A = this chain, B = another copy of it.
Amino acid sequence: MSTIQSSAMRATTTLSETTDDDGLATSVVRRTLLPSGLRIVTEQMAGVRSASIGVWVGVGSADEDETLHGCSHFLEHVLFKGTGTRSAMDISVALDAVGGEFNAFTAKEYTCFHARVLDVDLDLAVDVLGDMITDSTITAEDVEAERDVILDEIAMHDDDPDDVVHNLFAAQAYGEHTALGRPIAGTVESITALTRDQVAQFHRVHYRPATIVVSVAGNVEHDRVVELVEAAFARNGFLDRVESPVSRLGEGTLSPVHPGTATTRRPFEQVNLVLGMEGIARNDPRRFALSILSTALGGGTSSRLFQEVRERRGLAYSVYAFASHHADSGLVGVSVGCLPAKQDEVLVVVREQLALVARDGITAEELERGKGQLRGGLVLGLEDSGSRMARLGKSELVHDRLLTLDEVLAHIDGVSLEDVASVAAEIFSRPEVLAVVGPS
């Protein structure tokens, strides 16, 4: 089927080329848009023998109404169960035999199937992934077996205090009956109710070339990857339509965030707390200032929260700040686990620290340290083909455009003390969302 894609119809662009000190090209990023709307982005890296591949599908739990709750994640599981020509065992054997890492995950706005293999095994990995996406059988029997596995996975998440408190925080912030407020894996009720036909229909509607980005990084050659993808995704005429690619850039209307406190009583030893407020959407230009703010507040052992909560007062082993982003919304917050007797003091200290940065921003020293920390983390991450692959796939699917690494570094370097102070003053003065999970 791939023969109908004439190469004249493909649009291929070189997006960036990085040269190291010795004048050698160490990374080349190229993008091809197929007529069907499927996008292929590759980054050729010097000095590695591996390749990481991700198939990013622009669908997740945010696309589910209440009757379909958990369907994106259910489908992700079922696609491993077999295709027209491969059993579940064949799929497993193919990648286990070459030692590749092979997995998938479902988020609120996308689903990703990914593998890391030696470069010589890339053909196999692309073929298996294309087969799973385009020729899955989705039988009633497989749906039943996987339903039990997912119910067990939900029980496992339910035993994880960190998962419980973050799900509760999202439910309080967005409302437990909204798509963003519900847990990605679904509930016992919603998973029990989903039918084979709903899962298969969800696949037909949402797994289209126009919603898919294939990203590959490592010792790979772009034109060869395009050929492999065209062959692997051609099954069942999957690439035969002509469509424009669909990204998840949001509609510009922010989802409302509801302040308030939600508590769940669970017989854990620790109390787990998430205290936060509305943040910013994914493509908001203030995201670089927010990263530096979040780093200074609770992003390392030199951060204010680590120093005040753990080093000075010994109140908790784990404390950190986070910022999560969606197309049309975002949250910021602080996550802490502590002994029940320390809960009140922890909340006092965390609120004090948030109020302090809301009033005074951060210091020049913290700004420089935050920049160093983000810069170092980015550059260290470059040696890993998996993190380059993820950057490409996510950029193409959920960001307005792919920034080169130099552009990202320039954005970080460009953040001023005033930028951080202004985002801190705005966000940390917003009304509080608090989730508490613990024994009393």
**Contact among B96, B303, B369 for A369, CB-based, below 8 A:** B96
Complex Cα distance A239/B374, Å? 36
Copies assembled: 2
Bits for A359-372, please: 1 = Cβ < 8 Å to B, else 0: 00000000011001
Check: A144 CB closer than 8 A to any chain B CB. yes
Check: A267 CB closer than 8 A to any chain B CB. yes
B92 and A302 within 8 A (CB):
yes
Residue in B closest to A340 when the chains form the complex, CB atoms: B155
Bits for A84-127, please: 1 = Cβ < 8 Å to B, else 0: 00001101110011111110000000000000111001000000
A313 and B152 within 8 A (CB):
no
B302 and A100 within 8 A (CB):
no
Check: A311 CB closer than 8 A to any chain B CB. yes
**Contact among B145, B337, B378, B379 for A49, CB-based, below 8 A:** B379
A48 and B49 within 8 A (CB):
no
Check: A285 CB closer than 8 A to any chain B CB. no
Check: A17 CB closer than 8 A to any chain B CB. no
**Contact among B98, B159, B376 for A268, CB-based, below 8 A:** B159
Complex contacts, A232 vs chain B, CB 8 Å = none
Check: A288 CB closer than 8 A to any chain B CB. no
A270 and B318 within 8 A (CB):
no
**Contact among B93, B121, B337, B384 for A152, CB-based, below 8 A:** B337
Complex contacts, A306 vs chain B, CB 8 Å = 92
Check: A283 CB closer than 8 A to any chain B CB. no
Complex contacts, A117 vs chain B, CB 8 Å = 376, 380
Bits for A257-275, please: 1 = Cβ < 8 Å to B, else 0: 0000000000111100000
Within the complex, what minimum Cβ distance (angstroms) separates A310 from chain B? 6
B156 and A270 within 8 A (CB):
yes
Bits for A374-396, please: 1 = Cβ < 8 Å to B, else 0: 11111110011100000000000
> Can you offer 29 A-B residue contacts whose CB atoms are under 8 A?
A47-B48, A49-B383, A50-B383, A81-B311, A88-B307, A91-B301, A92-B302, A92-B306, A92-B307, A93-B369, A96-B302, A96-B303, A97-B372, A99-B379, A117-B376, A118-B376, A118-B380, A145-B313, A145-B314, A152-B314, A152-B315, A155-B337, A155-B339, A156-B269, A156-B337, A159-B270, A160-B160, A383-B385, A384-B384
The 9 closest A-B pairs by CB, nearest first: A99-B376, A47-B47, A148-B314, A92-B302, A92-B301, A155-B269, A153-B317, A145-B314, A96-B300
